[in-house]
Structure 1
Amino acid sequence: MPNELEDLSYARYLTPLEGELEREGDYDCVHISSDDIDDVEAGHARFNETVFTSMAITRGSMRFSRFTDVWQRNVRWVGTDLSDTSWQDAELIAGALVGVDAGGANLRRVRFEGCKFDSVNFRKAKLREVQFVDCVLRHTDFGDADLTKLSFPGTTVEGLLLNRARLKEVDLRGAVHLNIAEGLDALRGATITPLQLLDLAPEFARTIGITVREG
């Protein structure tokens, strides 16, 4: 995926956003930038070949919206409702998601690069072929989620919540730090390194009721 706006195949067709984001809006080849958006109400909107750059989207709801072939750079999502949204063939670079509700979302072929996640809810979401590259994930909740073919190269994972998550072909070997707060038993279906296993051993022991004591 391209790392610069001008490398997008549809870059020359982009037009600036006119007006405000609206509920059930249809946005095709639109460039949304500069002005921060507070209390957005754009549920059930459709974004196709659309670019978001250098802005913050704070509070409000975009629930049930669809993001297809969307590219984002330097975008901060703060306290926004993204539950039940659909993302396909999307790339988010150098962004942040803080206090975001993405419960029930469906992500396929999505790449996050250099992004920071803090207290993001992905409960009951479905993620397939998703990459977290050089990201920071703090207190990210994947409870009851379906996670397939995820990877975490160069990513710091802290306080991960995996309660009742279902993992398949999830590769955690590239994570530079791996800390799981809840749901260690959900790691079946994941691949980790021997060193990561050693780091997680005390938590594994506590999970299955083993007391480890010197002497």
Structure 2
Amino acid sequence: MPQHVPDRLEDLPYAAHLAPHTGPLRSDARYDTVHFDGGEYADTSAAGATFLECALTGVSLSGVKLRQARFNEVWVQAGRWVACDLADSDWQDSSVVGGVLAGLAAHGSALRRVVFRGCKLEAVNLRAAVLRDVVFEDCLLRDVDFADARLTDVTFPGSTLEEVRLRGAALGGVDLRGALRLDLPDGHQGLRGALISNTQLIELAPQFAHALGITVKED
């Protein structure tokens, strides 16, 4: 897990080596120590591309195809990614700081040692994805689907979870205690292997009771 997530471009260990990007995105391209700054890309394809030690600041992606793309040691700041295809993409040792990720198809993706900080994730499909050592810090996760995914050592400090689905997910070392809100439409489904607080247990008690066929009434 990254011990420190830089908040500024100049704090990146490879900042001095970054070269500005020019031109369109291309499928199967290799981007090594490239800085994408403030560009807007729409309805194009970078499927199968590799991003190594890259920085993306203020970049807007709309309808961009990034299926099977690889992101290794990538820093994303204040981006807006909408309706992009990130299915089967691979993320490692990367950070997403601020910005909006909405309507993303990221099913089957693999995320290892990735930090999301201060982000809004809405209508993100992470079905059957594999997440290991991932942190969602001070994020809003709304209508995020982890169904049939595998989550290992994933934490949510300071984050709000609204309509987050975990049905069929396999959890190991998933710590939900730091979450500010847990709104799980699937109820207890998929929570096996998660760590929750006493307060969260009380909040989820009606769902657990319903699942067990228990009727709770006041005297």
Q: Name the TM-score class by shorter chain.
A: over 0.9
Deviation at 1:30, TM superposition (A): 0.4
Runs of 4 or more off by more than 3 Å in structure 1?
none
Q: Deviations over 1:181-201 (max 9, x none)?
A: 115231111100000000011
**Is residue 187–residue 208 contact of structure 2 (8 Å, CA) maintained in 1?**
no
Q: Are 1:52 and 2:56 matched, yes or no?
A: yes
Name the counterpart of 1:39: 43
Matches for 1:1-215 after TM superposition, within 5 Å:
1-182=5-186, 184-215=188-219
Question: C-alpha distance in 2, partners of 1:22/1:2?
Answer: 28
Q: Secondary structure at the match of 2:164?
A: strand
Question: C-alpha distance in 2, partners of 1:61/1:67?
Answer: 14
Deviation at 1:211, TM superposition (A): 2.0
TM-score with structure 2 setting the length: 0.96
Question: C-alpha distance in 1, partners of 2:31/2:218?
Answer: 63
Paired residues in the alignment total 215
Query: Structure 2 regions of 5+ residues with no counterpart?
Result: none
Q: Secondary structure at the match of 2:189?
A: helix
AA aligned opposite 1:184: H
Q: Secondary structure at the match of 2:209?
A: helix
**Is residue 32–residue 51 contact of structure 2 (8 Å, CA) maintained in 1?**
yes
AA aligned opposite 1:59: G
Q: Secondary structure at the match of 1:184?
A: coil
**Is residue 59–residue 80 contact of structure 1 (8 Å, CA) maintained in 2?**
yes
Question: C-alpha distance in 1, partners of 2:64/2:34?
Answer: 21
Question: C-alpha distance in 2, partners of 1:186/1:162?
Answer: 5
AA aligned opposite 1:56: S
Question: C-alpha distance in 2, partners of 1:33/1:44?
Answer: 21
Question: C-alpha distance in 2, partners of 1:118/1:95?
Answer: 11
Q: Deviations over 1:160-187 (max 9, x none)?
A: 1001000000000000111111152311
Q: Secondary structure at the match of 2:144?
A: coil
Q: Deviations over 1:26-72 (max 9, x none)?
A: 00000012121111201000000001011210113100000000001
